Amino acid sequence: MLVGFSACAASLDSPQVLETIVDRVESARRKEKVPGAALALVEGDRLLLARGFGYADARRKTPMQADTRFNLGGFTKLLTAIAVMQQVEQGRYRLDTPITQALPGLSIENRYDPSSVPTVEQLLSHHGGLPNAILANNYVADPQADLTPLPNLYVSQPVGQIYAYSNLGYLLLGHLLEAHDPRPYRDIVRQSVLAPLGITRVDFAPAEADSRGHGRRGKVRPDIFPRDQSALGAMGSVQDLATLASWSLREDPGPVLSADSAARMQSVRNEDVPLDLDNKSGLAWQLTNLGRFNVDRVLRLNMVTMQFRGLVLLVPEYKLGVVILANSSNSLDFVLEQGRQAMDDLLRAKAGILPPDREQKLPGRVELPGGAVTGLMSSRYSTPLGIMEMTARKDQFDARYLGRKFRLRPRADGWFDIAYRLFGLINLRFNIIKEVLFRPVQLDGQHVLLLHYQGQDFLFGTELNGTTPQNAADLAARSGVYLLENPDAFSERLELKSVELSHEDGVLYALYRLPMFLTLKPKIPLLPQDRHRYYIPGLGTALGERVVFNEQGGFEFSGYEFRRKQ
Protein backbone atom coordinates (compact mmCIF):
# COMPACT_ATOMS: atom_id res chain seq x y z
CA MET A 1 0.00 0.00 0.00
CA LEU A 2 1.24 3.50 -0.83
CA VAL A 3 1.88 5.88 2.03
CA GLY A 4 -0.93 8.45 2.20
CA PHE A 5 -3.70 6.16 0.88
CA SER A 6 -6.21 4.14 2.89
CA ALA A 7 -7.05 0.55 2.11
CA CYS A 8 -10.83 0.82 2.44
CA ALA A 9 -12.92 -0.18 -0.54
CA ALA A 10 -14.73 2.31 -2.75
CA SER A 11 -17.58 1.99 -5.21
CA LEU A 12 -15.20 3.16 -7.91
CA ASP A 13 -13.12 0.04 -7.32
CA SER A 14 -15.62 -1.75 -9.58
CA PRO A 15 -13.57 -3.99 -11.87
CA GLN A 16 -15.76 -3.03 -14.80
CA VAL A 17 -15.07 0.70 -14.47
CA LEU A 18 -11.34 0.34 -13.96
CA GLU A 19 -10.88 -2.39 -16.56
CA THR A 20 -12.68 -0.27 -19.14
CA ILE A 21 -10.26 2.59 -18.51
CA VAL A 22 -7.19 0.32 -18.57
CA ASP A 23 -8.26 -1.43 -21.78
CA ARG A 24 -8.96 1.86 -23.55
CA VAL A 25 -5.62 3.40 -22.51
CA GLU A 26 -3.69 0.35 -23.68
CA SER A 27 -5.62 0.16 -26.96
CA ALA A 28 -4.99 3.86 -27.65
CA ARG A 29 -1.33 3.54 -26.70
CA ARG A 30 -0.82 0.74 -29.22
CA LYS A 31 -2.83 2.48 -31.93
CA GLU A 32 -0.97 5.77 -31.54
CA LYS A 33 2.42 4.02 -31.14
CA VAL A 34 3.20 5.56 -27.77
CA PRO A 35 6.13 3.54 -26.33
CA GLY A 36 5.14 3.84 -22.69
CA ALA A 37 2.58 5.43 -20.38
CA ALA A 38 1.51 5.40 -16.74
CA LEU A 39 -1.92 6.10 -15.26
CA ALA A 40 -3.17 6.71 -11.71
CA LEU A 41 -6.74 7.30 -10.51
CA VAL A 42 -7.66 8.57 -7.06
CA GLU A 43 -10.81 9.18 -5.07
CA GLY A 44 -10.07 11.29 -2.03
CA ASP A 45 -7.33 9.52 -0.07
CA ARG A 46 -7.81 6.25 -1.95
CA LEU A 47 -5.65 5.07 -4.79
CA LEU A 48 -8.05 3.37 -7.19
CA LEU A 49 -5.48 2.40 -9.76
CA ALA A 50 -1.79 2.85 -10.59
CA ARG A 51 -0.62 1.09 -13.73
CA GLY A 52 2.19 1.19 -16.26
CA PHE A 53 1.69 0.46 -19.96
CA GLY A 54 4.24 -0.50 -22.58
CA TYR A 55 7.92 0.24 -22.11
CA ALA A 56 9.95 2.64 -20.02
CA ASP A 57 12.76 1.95 -22.51
CA ALA A 58 11.61 0.52 -25.85
CA ARG A 59 15.14 -0.33 -26.96
CA ARG A 60 15.80 -2.53 -23.92
CA LYS A 61 12.15 -3.66 -23.62
CA THR A 62 12.07 -2.44 -20.02
CA PRO A 63 8.45 -2.61 -18.81
CA MET A 64 6.80 0.57 -17.62
CA GLN A 65 5.79 0.33 -13.96
CA ALA A 66 3.59 2.52 -11.80
CA ASP A 67 6.68 3.56 -9.83
CA THR A 68 8.83 4.33 -12.91
CA ARG A 69 10.03 7.92 -12.68
CA PHE A 70 9.65 10.53 -15.43
CA ASN A 71 10.95 14.05 -15.69
CA LEU A 72 7.88 15.85 -14.31
CA GLY A 73 8.57 19.10 -16.16
CA GLY A 74 6.00 21.79 -15.39
CA PHE A 75 4.47 19.72 -12.57
CA THR A 76 7.52 20.90 -10.58
CA LYS A 77 5.85 24.31 -10.35
CA LEU A 78 3.25 22.90 -7.97
CA LEU A 79 6.02 21.84 -5.56
CA THR A 80 7.66 25.28 -5.82
CA ALA A 81 4.33 27.03 -5.25
CA ILE A 82 3.57 24.96 -2.14
CA ALA A 83 7.02 25.76 -0.70
CA VAL A 84 6.48 29.49 -1.38
CA MET A 85 3.10 29.35 0.36
CA GLN A 86 4.80 27.74 3.37
CA GLN A 87 7.18 30.70 3.62
CA VAL A 88 4.22 33.08 3.29
CA GLU A 89 2.56 31.29 6.22
CA GLN A 90 5.81 31.67 8.18
CA GLY A 91 5.66 35.43 7.65
CA ARG A 92 8.85 35.72 5.61
CA TYR A 93 7.00 37.79 3.00
CA ARG A 94 3.43 38.25 1.76
CA LEU A 95 1.78 37.30 -1.51
CA ASP A 96 1.47 40.99 -2.39
CA THR A 97 5.15 41.71 -1.62
CA PRO A 98 6.99 43.05 -4.69
CA ILE A 99 9.62 40.51 -5.68
CA THR A 100 12.40 43.13 -5.60
CA GLN A 101 11.50 43.80 -1.95
CA ALA A 102 11.48 40.09 -1.09
CA LEU A 103 14.78 39.66 -2.96
CA PRO A 104 16.88 42.77 -2.16
CA GLY A 105 19.39 43.57 -4.87
CA LEU A 106 17.20 42.17 -7.64
CA SER A 107 16.33 44.54 -10.49
CA ILE A 108 13.85 44.01 -13.32
CA GLU A 109 13.75 46.36 -16.31
CA ASN A 110 10.24 47.44 -17.27
CA ARG A 111 9.78 49.36 -20.53
CA TYR A 112 6.04 49.77 -19.90
CA ASP A 113 6.15 51.25 -16.40
CA PRO A 114 9.51 51.46 -14.59
CA SER A 115 7.72 51.72 -11.23
CA SER A 116 5.74 48.50 -11.68
CA VAL A 117 7.27 45.35 -10.13
CA PRO A 118 5.68 41.87 -10.10
CA THR A 119 4.51 40.55 -6.74
CA VAL A 120 5.08 37.07 -5.37
CA GLU A 121 1.47 36.16 -6.20
CA GLN A 122 1.75 37.47 -9.76
CA LEU A 123 4.76 35.22 -10.34
CA LEU A 124 2.87 32.24 -8.90
CA SER A 125 -0.12 32.87 -11.19
CA HIS A 126 1.95 33.71 -14.32
CA HIS A 127 0.98 37.39 -14.27
CA GLY A 128 4.44 38.77 -13.49
CA GLY A 129 5.08 39.71 -17.12
CA LEU A 130 8.44 37.89 -17.36
CA PRO A 131 9.51 36.12 -20.58
CA ASN A 132 8.71 32.43 -20.90
CA ALA A 133 12.32 31.25 -20.51
CA ILE A 134 15.91 31.69 -21.56
CA LEU A 135 15.78 29.07 -24.32
CA ALA A 136 19.48 28.61 -25.05
CA ASN A 137 20.78 25.65 -23.01
CA ASN A 138 17.32 25.22 -21.52
CA TYR A 139 17.93 21.47 -21.75
CA VAL A 140 21.22 19.90 -20.69
CA ALA A 141 22.75 16.41 -20.60
CA ASP A 142 23.67 16.68 -16.92
CA PRO A 143 21.36 18.68 -14.63
CA GLN A 144 23.20 20.76 -12.06
CA ALA A 145 22.67 20.58 -8.31
CA ASP A 146 22.30 24.35 -7.96
CA LEU A 147 19.63 26.63 -9.37
CA THR A 148 20.46 28.39 -12.60
CA PRO A 149 21.87 31.88 -11.92
CA LEU A 150 19.35 34.60 -12.67
CA PRO A 151 19.89 36.41 -15.97
CA ASN A 152 19.42 40.13 -16.45
CA LEU A 153 15.65 40.32 -16.07
CA TYR A 154 13.10 42.39 -17.96
CA VAL A 155 9.34 42.19 -18.30
CA SER A 156 7.98 41.27 -21.72
CA GLN A 157 4.35 42.02 -20.77
CA PRO A 158 2.79 44.75 -18.63
CA VAL A 159 2.84 43.46 -15.06
CA GLY A 160 -0.55 42.08 -14.03
CA GLN A 161 -2.29 42.84 -17.34
CA ILE A 162 -2.47 39.33 -18.81
CA TYR A 163 -1.62 35.69 -18.15
CA ALA A 164 1.79 34.90 -19.68
CA TYR A 165 3.19 31.47 -18.76
CA SER A 166 6.73 31.88 -17.44
CA ASN A 167 9.27 29.25 -16.47
CA LEU A 168 11.57 32.17 -15.76
CA GLY A 169 9.12 33.41 -13.13
CA TYR A 170 9.33 30.08 -11.32
CA LEU A 171 13.13 30.09 -11.54
CA LEU A 172 12.93 33.44 -9.74
CA LEU A 173 10.64 31.87 -7.11
CA GLY A 174 13.23 29.14 -6.54
CA HIS A 175 15.80 31.82 -5.76
CA LEU A 176 13.25 33.48 -3.48
CA LEU A 177 12.93 30.23 -1.49
CA GLU A 178 16.70 29.94 -1.09
CA ALA A 179 17.00 33.57 -0.03
CA HIS A 180 14.70 32.92 2.96
CA ASP A 181 15.94 29.44 3.95
CA PRO A 182 19.53 28.23 4.48
CA ARG A 183 18.79 24.98 2.61
CA PRO A 184 19.18 24.61 -1.16
CA TYR A 185 15.99 24.55 -3.20
CA ARG A 186 15.84 20.78 -3.70
CA ASP A 187 16.20 20.15 0.06
CA ILE A 188 13.48 22.67 0.85
CA VAL A 189 11.07 20.84 -1.44
CA ARG A 190 12.06 17.33 -0.38
CA GLN A 191 12.03 18.00 3.36
CA SER A 192 9.19 20.52 3.70
CA VAL A 193 6.77 19.48 0.93
CA LEU A 194 7.37 15.86 -0.07
CA ALA A 195 8.51 14.15 3.14
CA PRO A 196 5.38 15.10 5.15
CA LEU A 197 3.30 13.42 2.41
CA GLY A 198 5.37 10.25 2.47
CA ILE A 199 6.77 10.94 -1.00
CA THR A 200 10.38 9.79 -0.83
CA ARG A 201 11.40 9.00 -4.42
CA VAL A 202 10.92 12.42 -6.03
CA ASP A 203 14.30 14.00 -6.62
CA PHE A 204 16.04 16.41 -8.98
CA ALA A 205 18.66 14.03 -10.34
CA PRO A 206 18.10 11.29 -12.96
CA ALA A 207 18.62 7.58 -12.26
CA GLU A 208 19.26 4.57 -14.48
CA ALA A 209 15.79 3.10 -13.84
CA ASP A 210 13.96 6.26 -14.99
CA SER A 211 11.81 6.21 -18.10
CA ARG A 212 13.64 7.18 -21.25
CA GLY A 213 12.34 9.74 -23.73
CA HIS A 214 11.38 8.56 -27.22
CA GLY A 215 11.17 10.33 -30.55
CA ARG A 216 8.31 10.43 -32.99
CA ARG A 217 9.20 7.04 -34.46
CA GLY A 218 9.48 5.43 -31.06
CA LYS A 219 13.29 5.49 -30.94
CA VAL A 220 15.01 6.15 -27.64
CA ARG A 221 16.57 9.60 -27.58
CA PRO A 222 19.67 10.69 -25.68
CA ASP A 223 18.73 11.91 -22.22
CA ILE A 224 18.37 15.65 -21.80
CA PHE A 225 17.00 17.40 -18.73
CA PRO A 226 15.57 20.85 -17.98
CA ARG A 227 18.12 23.32 -16.64
CA ASP A 228 15.72 25.41 -14.53
CA GLN A 229 15.01 23.06 -11.65
CA SER A 230 12.46 25.09 -9.70
CA ALA A 231 10.34 25.38 -12.85
CA LEU A 232 10.86 22.01 -14.59
CA GLY A 233 13.39 19.79 -12.85
CA ALA A 234 11.64 17.25 -10.59
CA MET A 235 11.83 13.51 -11.30
CA GLY A 236 8.94 11.35 -10.07
CA SER A 237 6.39 8.67 -10.88
CA VAL A 238 2.67 8.56 -11.51
CA GLN A 239 2.32 7.12 -7.98
CA ASP A 240 4.10 10.15 -6.54
CA LEU A 241 1.78 12.48 -8.43
CA ALA A 242 -1.23 10.45 -7.28
CA THR A 243 -0.22 11.04 -3.65
CA LEU A 244 0.18 14.75 -4.36
CA ALA A 245 -3.20 14.79 -6.15
CA SER A 246 -4.88 13.07 -3.20
CA TRP A 247 -3.37 15.64 -0.81
CA SER A 248 -4.67 18.43 -3.08
CA LEU A 249 -8.21 17.02 -2.70
CA ARG A 250 -8.15 17.06 1.10
CA GLU A 251 -10.30 19.47 3.07
CA ASP A 252 -7.50 19.55 5.66
CA PRO A 253 -4.17 19.81 3.79
CA GLY A 254 -2.06 19.70 6.93
CA PRO A 255 0.72 19.31 7.85
CA VAL A 256 1.98 20.79 4.59
CA LEU A 257 -0.23 23.88 4.33
CA SER A 258 -3.16 25.48 6.09
CA ALA A 259 -6.61 25.05 4.57
CA ASP A 260 -6.63 28.79 3.75
CA SER A 261 -3.37 28.62 1.79
CA ALA A 262 -4.46 25.53 -0.14
CA ALA A 263 -7.77 27.23 -0.96
CA ARG A 264 -5.92 30.29 -2.27
CA MET A 265 -3.87 28.10 -4.58
CA GLN A 266 -6.99 26.44 -5.98
CA SER A 267 -9.20 29.52 -6.34
CA VAL A 268 -9.38 31.91 -9.28
CA ARG A 269 -6.79 34.64 -8.73
CA ASN A 270 -7.31 36.63 -11.95
CA GLU A 271 -10.98 37.66 -11.83
CA ASP A 272 -9.90 41.31 -12.11
CA VAL A 273 -7.80 40.80 -15.27
CA PRO A 274 -10.15 41.63 -18.21
CA LEU A 275 -7.85 40.36 -20.97
CA ASP A 276 -7.68 36.89 -19.41
CA LEU A 277 -11.37 36.43 -20.21
CA ASP A 278 -12.18 32.75 -19.49
CA ASN A 279 -8.54 31.73 -19.03
CA LYS A 280 -8.77 31.23 -15.27
CA SER A 281 -5.72 30.56 -13.12
CA GLY A 282 -4.94 29.85 -9.50
CA LEU A 283 -1.46 29.64 -7.98
CA ALA A 284 0.35 27.05 -10.12
CA TRP A 285 -3.04 25.48 -10.99
CA GLN A 286 -4.98 26.14 -14.19
CA LEU A 287 -8.73 26.43 -13.59
CA THR A 288 -10.07 26.64 -17.14
CA ASN A 289 -12.58 23.85 -17.74
CA LEU A 290 -12.85 24.37 -21.52
CA GLY A 291 -16.37 22.97 -21.28
CA ARG A 292 -15.06 19.41 -21.23
CA PHE A 293 -16.69 18.33 -17.96
CA ASN A 294 -20.18 18.96 -16.57
CA VAL A 295 -18.87 20.13 -13.20
CA ASP A 296 -18.32 23.54 -11.66
CA ARG A 297 -14.56 23.42 -11.13
CA VAL A 298 -11.61 21.50 -12.54
CA LEU A 299 -7.97 21.81 -11.47
CA ARG A 300 -5.53 21.13 -14.29
CA LEU A 301 -1.79 20.84 -14.75
CA ASN A 302 -0.28 20.13 -18.17
CA MET A 303 3.28 18.93 -18.70
CA VAL A 304 5.16 19.20 -21.99
CA THR A 305 8.92 18.69 -22.11
CA MET A 306 11.21 17.71 -24.96
CA GLN A 307 10.72 14.02 -24.10
CA PHE A 308 7.61 13.61 -21.94
CA ARG A 309 3.94 14.59 -21.79
CA GLY A 310 1.57 14.56 -18.83
CA LEU A 311 -1.75 15.69 -17.40
CA VAL A 312 -3.22 16.02 -13.90
CA LEU A 313 -6.98 16.57 -13.62
CA LEU A 314 -8.76 17.06 -10.30
CA VAL A 315 -12.46 17.61 -9.57
CA PRO A 316 -12.53 18.76 -5.93
CA GLU A 317 -16.34 18.64 -5.69
CA TYR A 318 -16.28 14.85 -6.12
CA LYS A 319 -12.74 14.21 -4.77
CA LEU A 320 -11.63 12.62 -8.04
CA GLY A 321 -8.22 12.76 -9.70
CA VAL A 322 -6.58 11.47 -12.88
CA VAL A 323 -2.83 11.47 -13.55
CA ILE A 324 -1.41 10.28 -16.85
CA LEU A 325 2.17 10.40 -18.18
CA ALA A 326 3.74 9.30 -21.46
CA ASN A 327 7.34 9.05 -22.65
CA SER A 328 7.36 10.26 -26.25
CA SER A 329 7.32 13.60 -28.02
CA ASN A 330 4.25 12.66 -30.09
CA SER A 331 1.99 11.62 -27.21
CA LEU A 332 0.26 14.89 -26.29
CA ASP A 333 -3.05 14.05 -27.99
CA PHE A 334 -2.98 10.60 -26.40
CA VAL A 335 -2.40 12.06 -22.92
CA LEU A 336 -5.10 14.73 -23.20
CA GLU A 337 -7.74 12.42 -24.65
CA GLN A 338 -7.12 9.47 -22.33
CA GLY A 339 -6.97 11.74 -19.29
CA ARG A 340 -10.27 13.35 -20.25
CA GLN A 341 -12.01 10.06 -20.93
CA ALA A 342 -10.78 8.57 -17.66
CA MET A 343 -12.24 11.51 -15.73
CA ASP A 344 -15.49 11.16 -17.69
CA ASP A 345 -15.70 7.53 -16.56
CA LEU A 346 -14.99 8.38 -12.92
CA LEU A 347 -17.62 11.14 -12.84
CA ARG A 348 -20.18 8.85 -14.46
CA ALA A 349 -19.47 5.99 -12.05
CA LYS A 350 -19.44 8.09 -8.87
CA ALA A 351 -22.06 10.75 -9.52
CA GLY A 352 -23.93 9.77 -12.68
CA ILE A 353 -22.52 12.84 -14.45
CA LEU A 354 -22.49 12.35 -18.21
CA PRO A 355 -19.87 14.05 -20.39
CA PRO A 356 -20.95 16.97 -22.57
CA ASP A 357 -21.74 16.38 -26.22
CA ARG A 358 -18.33 16.62 -27.93
CA GLU A 359 -19.94 17.18 -31.32
CA GLN A 360 -22.32 19.94 -30.28
CA LYS A 361 -22.80 22.71 -32.81
CA LEU A 362 -21.92 26.29 -32.09
CA PRO A 363 -24.86 28.20 -30.60
CA GLY A 364 -26.75 30.51 -32.91
CA ARG A 365 -25.92 33.49 -30.74
CA VAL A 366 -22.82 34.18 -28.64
CA GLU A 367 -22.77 37.23 -26.38
CA LEU A 368 -19.74 39.46 -26.00
CA PRO A 369 -17.83 39.03 -22.73
CA GLY A 370 -18.26 41.72 -20.11
CA GLY A 371 -16.32 44.91 -20.82
CA ALA A 372 -15.76 44.12 -24.51
CA VAL A 373 -17.00 46.49 -27.22
CA THR A 374 -17.27 45.48 -30.86
CA GLY A 375 -14.45 46.85 -33.00
CA LEU A 376 -13.49 46.90 -36.65
CA MET A 377 -11.45 44.06 -38.11
CA SER A 378 -7.78 45.05 -38.37
CA SER A 379 -5.51 44.07 -41.22
CA ARG A 380 -2.91 42.44 -38.94
CA TYR A 381 -2.96 40.71 -35.57
CA SER A 382 0.10 39.57 -33.64
CA THR A 383 -0.34 36.14 -32.00
CA PRO A 384 2.01 33.75 -30.15
CA LEU A 385 2.46 31.86 -33.44
CA GLY A 386 3.09 34.90 -35.60
CA ILE A 387 1.10 37.37 -37.64
CA MET A 388 -2.45 36.82 -38.89
CA GLU A 389 -3.11 39.00 -41.93
CA MET A 390 -6.64 39.96 -42.99
CA THR A 391 -7.88 41.03 -46.42
CA ALA A 392 -11.46 42.30 -46.75
CA ARG A 393 -13.74 40.55 -49.28
CA LYS A 394 -17.01 42.52 -49.07
CA ASP A 395 -18.37 41.47 -45.68
CA GLN A 396 -15.96 38.53 -45.39
CA PHE A 397 -12.21 38.36 -44.73
CA ASP A 398 -9.46 36.23 -46.16
CA ALA A 399 -6.97 35.40 -43.43
CA ARG A 400 -3.40 34.18 -43.91
CA TYR A 401 -1.86 32.47 -40.90
CA LEU A 402 1.14 30.13 -40.58
CA GLY A 403 1.34 30.01 -44.37
CA ARG A 404 -2.28 28.86 -44.73
CA LYS A 405 -5.38 30.61 -46.03
CA PHE A 406 -8.69 30.81 -44.21
CA ARG A 407 -12.01 32.51 -44.88
CA LEU A 408 -13.78 34.37 -42.07
CA ARG A 409 -17.52 34.66 -42.61
CA PRO A 410 -19.83 36.94 -40.61
CA ARG A 411 -22.72 35.65 -38.53
CA ALA A 412 -25.83 37.50 -37.47
CA ASP A 413 -24.51 37.88 -33.90
CA GLY A 414 -21.36 39.75 -35.00
CA TRP A 415 -18.95 36.81 -34.68
CA PHE A 416 -17.11 35.23 -37.62
CA ASP A 417 -16.94 31.51 -38.30
CA ILE A 418 -13.97 30.12 -40.19
CA ALA A 419 -13.39 27.85 -43.16
CA TYR A 420 -10.03 26.51 -44.29
CA ARG A 421 -9.23 26.93 -47.99
CA LEU A 422 -6.76 24.33 -49.19
CA PHE A 423 -4.50 26.04 -51.76
CA GLY A 424 -7.03 28.88 -51.63
CA LEU A 425 -9.57 26.85 -53.59
CA ILE A 426 -11.10 23.93 -51.70
CA ASN A 427 -13.29 24.53 -48.66
CA LEU A 428 -12.55 22.15 -45.79
CA ARG A 429 -14.04 22.13 -42.31
CA PHE A 430 -12.00 20.36 -39.67
CA ASN A 431 -13.51 19.50 -36.28
CA ILE A 432 -11.62 22.24 -34.46
CA ILE A 433 -12.64 24.82 -37.06
CA LYS A 434 -16.29 23.91 -36.57
CA GLU A 435 -15.97 24.83 -32.89
CA VAL A 436 -14.20 28.19 -33.29
CA LEU A 437 -15.48 31.75 -33.74
CA PHE A 438 -13.53 35.03 -34.00
CA ARG A 439 -14.52 38.61 -33.22
CA PRO A 440 -12.60 41.91 -33.19
CA VAL A 441 -13.24 43.93 -30.03
CA GLN A 442 -11.88 46.66 -27.82
CA LEU A 443 -11.12 45.41 -24.32
CA ASP A 444 -9.12 46.96 -21.48
CA GLY A 445 -7.88 49.68 -23.81
CA GLN A 446 -6.63 47.18 -26.41
CA HIS A 447 -7.81 46.28 -29.93
CA VAL A 448 -7.80 42.49 -29.88
CA LEU A 449 -9.18 39.48 -31.72
CA LEU A 450 -11.23 37.15 -29.54
CA LEU A 451 -11.54 33.41 -30.01
CA HIS A 452 -14.68 31.59 -28.82
CA TYR A 453 -14.21 27.87 -28.18
CA GLN A 454 -16.19 25.29 -26.19
CA GLY A 455 -18.43 28.01 -24.75
CA GLN A 456 -15.58 30.20 -23.52
CA ASP A 457 -13.70 33.27 -24.74
CA PHE A 458 -9.94 33.72 -25.08
CA LEU A 459 -7.62 36.39 -26.44
CA PHE A 460 -6.22 35.21 -29.77
CA GLY A 461 -4.32 38.20 -31.17
CA THR A 462 -3.47 41.87 -30.66
CA GLU A 463 -3.85 44.54 -33.35
CA LEU A 464 -0.60 45.43 -35.11
CA ASN A 465 -2.02 48.35 -37.11
CA GLY A 466 -0.91 51.88 -36.43
CA THR A 467 2.77 51.06 -35.96
CA THR A 468 5.25 53.70 -37.09
CA PRO A 469 7.07 52.55 -40.25
CA GLN A 470 10.66 51.70 -39.47
CA ASN A 471 13.67 53.38 -41.04
CA ALA A 472 14.10 51.95 -44.56
CA ALA A 473 17.89 51.81 -44.25
CA ASP A 474 17.63 49.91 -40.95
CA LEU A 475 15.14 47.47 -42.46
CA ALA A 476 17.40 46.78 -45.42
CA ALA A 477 20.44 46.38 -43.16
CA ARG A 478 18.62 43.91 -40.91
CA SER A 479 17.17 41.77 -43.73
CA GLY A 480 18.85 38.52 -44.71
CA VAL A 481 19.44 34.92 -43.59
CA TYR A 482 20.97 34.38 -40.16
CA LEU A 483 22.67 31.17 -39.02
CA LEU A 484 22.49 29.86 -35.46
CA GLU A 485 25.95 30.17 -33.87
CA ASN A 486 25.43 28.35 -30.57
CA PRO A 487 23.26 25.28 -31.20
CA ASP A 488 22.36 23.13 -28.23
CA ALA A 489 20.25 20.09 -27.37
CA PHE A 490 17.03 22.11 -27.55
CA SER A 491 17.70 23.69 -30.96
CA GLU A 492 18.90 20.37 -32.35
CA ARG A 493 15.69 18.65 -31.29
CA LEU A 494 13.73 21.44 -32.98
CA GLU A 495 16.07 21.27 -35.98
CA LEU A 496 16.38 25.05 -35.78
CA LYS A 497 19.41 26.13 -37.80
CA SER A 498 18.58 29.49 -39.35
CA VAL A 499 16.14 32.41 -39.38
CA GLU A 500 15.33 34.77 -42.24
CA LEU A 501 14.58 38.44 -41.61
CA SER A 502 12.66 40.41 -44.23
CA HIS A 503 10.63 43.60 -44.31
CA GLU A 504 7.20 44.45 -45.64
CA ASP A 505 5.13 47.64 -45.34
CA GLY A 506 7.70 49.20 -43.00
CA VAL A 507 7.80 46.26 -40.55
CA LEU A 508 10.63 43.79 -39.96
CA TYR A 509 9.60 40.12 -39.84
CA ALA A 510 11.34 36.93 -38.76
CA LEU A 511 10.49 33.88 -40.85
CA TYR A 512 11.55 30.36 -40.06
CA ARG A 513 10.55 26.83 -40.84
CA LEU A 514 10.95 23.90 -38.51
CA PRO A 515 11.53 20.69 -40.50
CA MET A 516 9.41 18.79 -37.97
CA PHE A 517 6.46 21.02 -39.00
CA LEU A 518 7.10 21.57 -42.69
CA THR A 519 3.61 22.84 -43.41
CA LEU A 520 3.70 25.64 -40.83
CA LYS A 521 5.53 28.87 -41.63
CA PRO A 522 5.47 31.36 -38.74
CA LYS A 523 5.91 35.03 -39.63
CA ILE A 524 6.93 36.99 -36.52
CA PRO A 525 6.78 40.82 -36.49
CA LEU A 526 9.63 42.70 -34.80
CA LEU A 527 9.18 46.31 -33.67
CA PRO A 528 12.01 48.61 -32.54
CA GLN A 529 12.38 49.54 -28.88
CA ASP A 530 15.51 51.49 -29.77
CA ARG A 531 18.22 51.33 -32.46
CA HIS A 532 19.52 47.89 -31.42
CA ARG A 533 16.70 46.35 -29.40
CA TYR A 534 13.55 45.04 -31.05
CA TYR A 535 10.61 43.17 -29.49
CA ILE A 536 7.83 40.81 -30.60
CA PRO A 537 4.59 42.81 -30.24
CA GLY A 538 1.43 41.43 -28.72
CA LEU A 539 -0.13 40.35 -25.45
CA GLY A 540 0.31 36.91 -23.91
CA THR A 541 2.74 34.05 -23.52
CA ALA A 542 6.00 34.29 -25.53
CA LEU A 543 5.15 37.79 -26.82
CA GLY A 544 6.94 41.02 -25.94
CA GLU A 545 10.32 39.26 -25.86
CA ARG A 546 13.49 40.92 -27.13
CA VAL A 547 15.70 40.56 -30.17
CA VAL A 548 19.00 42.45 -29.72
CA PHE A 549 21.20 43.29 -32.73
CA ASN A 550 24.95 43.64 -32.24
CA GLU A 551 27.61 45.73 -33.95
CA GLN A 552 28.82 42.73 -35.96
CA GLY A 553 25.51 42.46 -37.81
CA GLY A 554 24.11 39.49 -35.90
CA PHE A 555 21.42 39.28 -33.25
CA GLU A 556 20.61 37.50 -29.99
CA PHE A 557 17.24 36.06 -28.95
CA SER A 558 16.61 34.26 -25.66
CA GLY A 559 20.28 33.34 -25.34
CA TYR A 560 20.63 32.12 -28.94
CA GLU A 561 23.13 33.99 -31.12
CA PHE A 562 22.64 34.35 -34.87
CA ARG A 563 25.20 35.47 -37.44
CA ARG A 564 24.22 36.94 -40.78
CA LYS A 565 24.99 34.58 -43.67
CA GLN A 566 27.52 36.06 -46.08
Q: Give the Å distances, CA to CA, from 352 to 22, 80, 249.
A: 20, 36, 20
How confident is the model at residue 432, as a pLDDT? 65
Q: Are residues 288 and 248 in the same domain?
A: yes
| Domain annotation covers residue 367 | no
Same domain? For 107 and 39 the reply is: yes
Query: What does the pLDDT read at residue 466?
Result: 65
How high is the pLDDT of residue 493? 83
Residue 448 near residue 458 (C-beta atoms within 8 A): no
Where is the domain boundary, 409, 428, 463?
Answer: 463
Assess if residue 1 is contained within a domain.
no
Axis crossing angle, helix 76-89 with helix 167-179, rounded to the nearest 10: 40
Please tell me whether residues 496 and 436 are part of one structural domain.
Answer: no
Compute mean pLDDT per 10 residues along the chain, 566 residues long, and list them: 41 83 98 97 96 97 98 98 98 98 95 96 98 94 90 96 98 98 98 97 95 89 93 98 97 95 97 97 93 89 95 97 96 96 95 82 91 96 95 94 90 91 46 82 97 93 81 90 95 90 93 65 91 94 96 94 93
Q: How far apart are CA 37 and CA 161, in angstroms?
A: 38
Provide the CATH number for the domain around residue 485: 2.40.128
Give residue 547's domain range. Answer: 472-564
Return the pLDDT at 133. 95
Confidence (pLDDT) at 143: 87
481 and 437 in a single domain? The answer is no
- How many domains does the chain fold into? 3
Q: Are residues 52 and 26 in the same domain?
A: yes
206/253 same-domain check: yes
Same-domain status, 342 and 489: no
Question: Domain boundary residue among 406, 437, 463?
Answer: 463
Residues 528 and 414 reside in one and the same domain: no
pLDDT number for residue 421: 58
Same domain, 427 and 549: no
Of 463, 498, 532, which residue is a domain's last? 463
Q: Are residues 145 and 180 in the same domain?
A: yes
366 domain residue, yes or no: no
Q: Check residue 502 and give its pLDDT.
A: 95
pTM of the model: 0.94
Helices (H) and strands (E) in the chain, counts: 13, 30
The pLDDT value given to residue 166: 98
456 and 486 share a domain? no
Q: Are residues 378 and 311 part of one domain?
A: no
Ordered DSSP codes for 541-564: TT-S-EEEE-TTS-EEETTEEEEE
Predicted local distance difference test score (pLDDT) of residue 6: 46
Distance CA 354, CA 332 (A): 24
